[in-house]
Amino acid sequence: MRETLLLGSNSSSYLYKHKHTLKINMEEKSLLTWRQFAWIKNKLNFIHQRLHVEHLKKHFSLNFNFHKQTLTEKNENFYQWLVGFTDGDGTFSIVNQNNKWSLTYKLSKNTYNLRVLHFIKKQLKVGSIYIEKGGKQGHYRIRDLTTLESVIFPIFDKYPLLTTKQFNYLKFKEAYKILSNSSLSKLEKDNLITKIVSSKPTENYISPIWSIVNNEITDFKTASTVMSKPWLVGFTEAEGSFYLVKKSENRLVHGFEITQKLDKIALTAIKYLLGIKTRVKITKSGTFSVVTTNSRAIENIIKYFKNTMKGMKSVEYRIWSRSYIKHKGDFEKLEKIRSDVRIMRLKTNTLLNMNYTKDV
């Protein structure tokens, strides 16, 4: 898919305007991408196509609009969303610097998606956001041990990570326990934490949470037993790609893809939850990928993610889904989108670098 227009993750941002394909309010500025969108401030009008997919009703029925939920529902759905987002773009770091150990919970995104990091900070009411020199990468982080204990640990203890990052989280929490143990000497702490840091997961490591389905996903039921909709929304917000791919000289189609280095079981669950019929594939680089351009699966995905995401991924999803509903099969209009995006690439990257040059 190297030659495709991707509206997903891991890419630069581009400004897109197309009077024939999108109606945009005066307050709205759309950022489209050659592999991803930048975020915009306001909403796009979205035309929803009614679908009839019986086996997906359970997951589709969850309304993920936080303001319509009770406080408890809001928190619980956000916590599961956060775990999914962390499975995608989070780290639990144990670092020794200047002969002193530090622990950091961190979420990282390109600066065009600072919106989602600010959303997380607002929900948790703790932590800080900073931007790397050069303005290309933003990070949300929590380093205070007391805050980690009171805010982060309760969330990830209640809702385990579904990927190999669960192994890293357990190491992280064990390091915290050692650092907090006043009965241990500094030398003892150093030795114990050094041993923890050096431990690595096995090549076929599977998060323990999957044991409730015997580490095997065979259908929608077994997938939904472990993987919730908020988790999948969060994970997709971090790792998902909504894109257009050229199938032939005069044909562009819509596609969806999530790729991971490890954790085939998680991608298998995603495949069943989204109604994707193709198998989880192994790419040339050795990573796992769940990908589809099948029309029925794309329609499932459009319905599944409606009104769910919080960062720039909500923008890319809306433009992608709207272009499917309004312009599926219209090669000229879809090709015009891709052409406009390419033209704006350099200007948008320059603008982003100018705007994000100092810490938040």
Highest-confidence segment of 60-74, 119-133, 343-357: 119-133
Question: Over 50: is that where the pLDDT of 146 sits?
Answer: yes
Question: Over 50: is that where the pLDDT of 38 sits?
Answer: no
Say what the pLDDT of residue 337 is.
75
Distance CA 111, CA 356 (A): 7
Question: Over 60: is that where the pLDDT of 79 sits?
Answer: yes
Residue 355: pLDDT band (50, 70, 90) is: low
Q: Higher-confidence residue: 340 or 61?
A: 340
Say what the pLDDT of residue 43 is.
32
Say what the pLDDT of residue 69 is.
54
Say what the pLDDT of residue 46 is.
31
Residue 196: pLDDT band (50, 70, 90) is: very high
Question: Over 90: is that where the pLDDT of 219 sits?
Answer: yes
pTM: 0.80
Question: Over 80: is that where the pLDDT of 35 sits?
Answer: no
Paired residues of 140 in beta bridges: 107, 129
Mean pLDDT to the nearest integer, 140-157: 97
Question: Over 50: is that where the pLDDT of 288 sits?
Answer: yes
Say what the pLDDT of residue 3 is.
34
Question: Over 60: is that where the pLDDT of 356 sits?
Answer: no
Residue 347: pLDDT band (50, 70, 90) is: low
Residue 109: pLDDT band (50, 70, 90) is: very high
Highest-confidence segment of 71-75, 160-164, 306-310: 160-164
| Domains assigned to the chain | 5-65+218-355 (3.10.28.10), 71-207 (3.10.28.10)
- Write the Ramachandran bin of 17: left for phi over 0, alpha for psi from -120 to 50, otherwise beta: beta
Mean pLDDT to the nearest integer, 207-235: 97
